[in-house]
Amino acid sequence: MANVDPPKLPKKIIPALAVEQVTALLASSGKDFYGVRDRAILLLLLDTDLRAAELLSLTVAQVDTRAGGKLVVMGKGAKQREVFFGPTTATALKDYVRRHGTTSGLPAHATLAMTERYLTLTGEDLAAAHKQHSPADLLPAAATTSGRKRLR
């Protein structure tokens, strides 16, 4: 019996949140530093389907907010992969980076300029497909609480 592998347990599928639940979560994030951060994280998770470890290991250099948005992450099994996000998430990330820069005493444009300098655009087809189907961009207009009008 020592050489026999145990049976694999079935994987449980975690039910997705309803649009109303996602909208309520986004609406509950405040306008202070933590609210702006939480909103950026929620939209990023919604739009990219990142794993928790991928989210926690993100650096500013991995985020490209130009042309929609793209992240290059090290996924499971040390495999690099690209994930895309839409303009709503890009705006939330820019708001967070600006707020973070201001809070830390850095000029707000420096962090974004460094990000854009080190990243190149690839996977145009995936980016275009995500642009059309971004979950965060498809949320009802009530989910935008940044005080800006939503442009389409």
Nearest to 103 by CA among 115, 113, 111: 111
Q: Where do the domains of the chain lie?
A: 19-138
Tens-of-pLDDT digits for all 152 residues of the chain?
788 888 888 888 888 889 999 999 999 999 999 999 999 999 999 999 898 888 998 888 888 877 668 888 887 788 888 889 998 998 898 888 887 666 666 555 645 555 454 444 446 666 777 788 888 888 886 455 555 544 44
> Model-level pTM?
0.63
CATH of 19-138, one of 1.10.10.10, 1.10.3720.10, 1.10.443.10, 3.40.50.12240: 1.10.443.10
Q: Is the dihedral of CA 46, 47, 49, 55 positive or negative?
A: negative
